[in-house]
Protein backbone atom coordinates (compact mmCIF):
# COMPACT_ATOMS: atom_id res chain seq x y z
CA UNK A 1 0.00 0.00 0.00
CA UNK A 2 1.62 3.22 -1.16
CA UNK A 3 -0.04 5.66 1.24
CA UNK A 4 -1.76 4.96 4.49
CA UNK A 5 -5.39 5.82 5.08
CA UNK A 6 -4.41 8.37 7.72
CA UNK A 7 -2.06 10.13 5.30
CA UNK A 8 -4.78 10.32 2.67
CA UNK A 9 -7.25 11.68 5.21
CA UNK A 10 -4.80 14.36 6.33
CA UNK A 11 -4.17 15.54 2.77
CA UNK A 12 -7.90 15.48 2.07
CA UNK A 13 -8.46 17.66 5.15
CA UNK A 14 -5.75 20.08 3.98
CA UNK A 15 -7.41 20.28 0.56
CA UNK A 16 -10.85 20.88 2.08
CA UNK A 17 -9.48 23.56 4.42
CA UNK A 18 -7.77 25.30 1.52
CA UNK A 19 -10.87 25.16 -0.65
CA UNK A 20 -12.98 26.47 2.24
CA UNK A 21 -10.55 29.35 2.84
CA UNK A 22 -10.33 30.31 -0.83
CA UNK A 23 -14.12 30.06 -1.15
CA UNK A 24 -14.56 32.22 1.93
CA UNK A 25 -12.27 34.87 0.47
CA UNK A 26 -14.10 34.77 -2.87
CA UNK A 27 -17.59 35.17 -1.38
CA UNK A 28 -16.84 38.20 0.83
CA UNK A 29 -16.96 40.86 -1.84
CA UNK A 30 -16.73 44.38 -0.55
CA UNK A 31 -16.90 43.33 3.11
CA UNK A 32 -14.12 43.28 5.63
CA UNK A 33 -12.61 39.85 6.03
CA UNK A 34 -10.42 38.33 8.68
CA UNK A 35 -6.78 37.85 7.66
CA UNK A 36 -6.73 34.29 8.98
CA UNK A 37 -8.56 33.15 5.84
CA UNK A 38 -5.67 34.41 3.72
CA UNK A 39 -3.14 32.66 5.96
CA UNK A 40 -5.05 29.36 5.90
CA UNK A 41 -5.55 29.54 2.12
CA UNK A 42 -1.89 30.30 1.48
CA UNK A 43 -0.66 27.59 3.86
CA UNK A 44 -2.91 24.94 2.31
CA UNK A 45 -1.93 25.88 -1.23
CA UNK A 46 1.78 25.85 -0.29
CA UNK A 47 1.49 22.47 1.44
CA UNK A 48 -0.32 20.84 -1.47
CA UNK A 49 2.06 22.37 -4.02
CA UNK A 50 5.08 21.24 -1.99
CA UNK A 51 3.75 17.70 -1.76
CA UNK A 52 3.16 17.31 -5.48
CA UNK A 53 6.27 19.22 -6.55
CA UNK A 54 8.50 17.17 -4.24
CA UNK A 55 6.96 13.97 -5.60
CA UNK A 56 7.73 15.16 -9.14
CA UNK A 57 11.33 16.02 -8.16
CA UNK A 58 11.81 12.56 -6.65
CA UNK A 59 10.35 10.84 -9.71
CA UNK A 60 12.03 12.87 -12.47
CA UNK A 61 15.11 14.67 -11.18
CA UNK A 62 16.58 12.50 -8.43
CA UNK A 63 16.14 9.18 -10.18
CA UNK A 64 19.20 6.91 -10.13
CA UNK A 65 20.77 6.04 -13.47
CA UNK A 66 23.38 3.28 -13.43
CA UNK A 67 24.61 4.13 -16.94
CA UNK A 68 25.44 7.74 -16.04
CA UNK A 69 29.10 8.41 -15.28
CA UNK A 70 30.02 9.88 -11.91
CA UNK A 71 31.87 13.22 -11.84
CA UNK A 72 35.08 11.46 -10.74
CA UNK A 73 35.13 8.94 -13.57
CA UNK A 74 34.10 11.57 -16.10
CA UNK A 75 36.95 13.88 -15.07
CA UNK A 76 39.70 11.22 -15.08
CA UNK A 77 38.97 9.60 -18.43
CA UNK A 78 40.97 12.05 -20.52
CA UNK A 79 42.68 14.36 -18.04
CA UNK A 80 46.09 13.45 -16.63
CA UNK A 81 46.40 16.32 -14.15
CA UNK A 82 43.45 15.22 -12.05
CA UNK A 83 44.54 13.30 -8.99
CA UNK A 84 42.97 12.82 -5.58
CA UNK A 85 44.19 15.02 -2.75
CA UNK A 86 44.32 14.17 0.90
CA UNK A 87 43.11 16.89 3.25
CA UNK A 88 43.87 20.55 2.86
CA UNK A 89 46.44 21.23 0.18
CA UNK A 90 47.64 24.46 1.76
CA UNK A 91 48.28 22.72 5.08
CA UNK A 92 50.55 20.11 3.52
CA UNK A 93 52.49 22.36 1.13
CA UNK A 94 52.99 25.67 2.90
CA UNK A 95 55.41 26.21 5.78
CA UNK A 96 54.05 27.46 9.12
CA UNK A 97 53.81 31.19 9.55
CA UNK A 98 56.63 32.82 11.56
CA UNK A 99 54.31 34.46 14.10
CA UNK A 100 52.64 31.28 15.27
CA UNK A 101 54.11 28.79 17.68
CA UNK A 102 52.97 25.18 17.54
Dist CA 17 CA 89 (whole Å): 56
Average pLDDT for runs of 10 along the chain of length 102: 79 89 83 84 89 83 75 59 55 60 56
For the beta carbon of residue 14, count every other beta carbon within 10 angstroms: 17
Domain limits, the chain: 5-60
Instruction: Decide if 34 contacts 1 (C-beta within 8 A).
Output: no
95 DSSP 8-state letter:
P
Digit-coded pLDDT (tens) for 11-32:
889 889 988 888 888 887 777 8
pTM exceeding 0.85? no
What dihedral angle (degrees, nearest 10) is formed by the CA atoms of 47, 52, 58, 62? Answer: -90
Amino acid sequence: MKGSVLSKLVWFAVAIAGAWAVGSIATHRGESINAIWFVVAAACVYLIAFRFYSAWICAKVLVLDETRATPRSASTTGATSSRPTSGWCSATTSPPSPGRAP
